[in-house]
Amino acid sequence: MCKTLSKYKVSTLAGRLIMLMLTSLLLLSCAGLGTGQKLVPVSLQLTDTMQLPFRIEKCLLDQRSNTYYLMEENRPNLYLYRNGQQINKLGGLGTQKTNFQKLSDIALDSDGNLLALDVFAKVIKKFCPDGKWIADIDISGYGQPSRLCTLTETDLIIYDAAAKELSKFSTFDRKAMFSFGRFQVDDVAQITAVGDYIAVVSEDRGKTWLFNSMGQLLREVPAQVVVDRFQNLFVYQDGAVKAEQGEPILALGPHNVELKLFSGLTALLLVSDYSVKTILPAYQ
């Protein structure tokens, strides 16, 4: 699609000028491909409700493979579901590659691989989308690493509950790049980060701290907030999911403080004890 125009010969000055303008336009269009164009949500639709036989602590969705990753509450178990069927189960206590001492959080990287954080072992286990173990990432430099999310292809955000601070961690260098949030956050339940936003939800889910990618606190929001791939902020509050800026609102019944909102990048996941509701925004 992005072809150069240098092979075409133009004899006149006017022709050369036109050709230069066309070349510039093509280069601009090429540079814009895959750069994360800003899209605005115009509606929200509840597309699916999945019932599970166990209590759910956290759920993630990789829409490329239509795989749901479900973390069981208070147990070291991870379940992989695809098209409504369980395709794999990871975890259990032990020292094998697929075991955990204490599973505390999960995330997805840019390739759709699953990252599972073991707070006792101080390691992040990396699995392929079907659940095959790939590697362990040592994070022994942290006191109590309890929450994580991906920020870029090589960088993570990790919350250390012992220090009560967040840090940007490089999986390439295997070290923390800088820390932030000390004396600002506490009892963190979940983190989502895309582009310029890092949303840190409190344990009681009645508050979210919004930071920028450099760790500067932007503001506090009195609700659960997650970020989608286009850097739109979505809020769950008073029984409804809504875009923080704009009109889309999806009312889901009476307010329930136990409901947990997660981001699937291009989907929203609302989790109760035994069910996951999938909400798809439409964009323009």
Which pTM was predicted? Answer: 0.84
Handedness of CA 22, 26, 27, 29 (dihedral sign): positive
Q: Give the model's pLDDT for residue 246.
A: 73
Q: Is residue 23 part of a domain?
A: no
Checking if the pLDDT of 245 tops 70, the result is: yes
Sequential DSSP letters for 132-156? -EEEEEE-TTSSSEEEEEE-SSSEE
Domain that holds residue 95: 60-138
Checking if the pLDDT of 78 tops 50, the result is: yes
Q: Give the model's pLDDT for residue 93.
A: 86
* Segment 161-185, tens digit of pLDDT: 999 999 999 999 999 999 999 999 9
Checking if the pLDDT of 33 tops 60, the result is: no
Q: Is residue 203 part of a domain?
A: no
Q: Which of 40, 81, 48 shows the shortest CA–CA distance to 62?
A: 81
* Segment 109-129, tens digit of pLDDT: 989 999 999 999 999 999 999
Instruction: Work out how many domains the chain is built from and give that number.
Output: 1
Q: What is the CATH number of the domain that holds 124?
A: 2.40.10.480
Q: Give the model's pLDDT for residue 252.
A: 87
Q: Is residue 5 part of a domain?
A: no
Q: Is residue 131 part of a domain?
A: yes
Q: Is residue 78 part of a domain?
A: yes
Q: Give the model's pLDDT for residue 257.
A: 57
Checking if the pLDDT of 100 tops 60, the result is: yes
Rounded distance, CA 48 to CA 228, Å?
A: 19
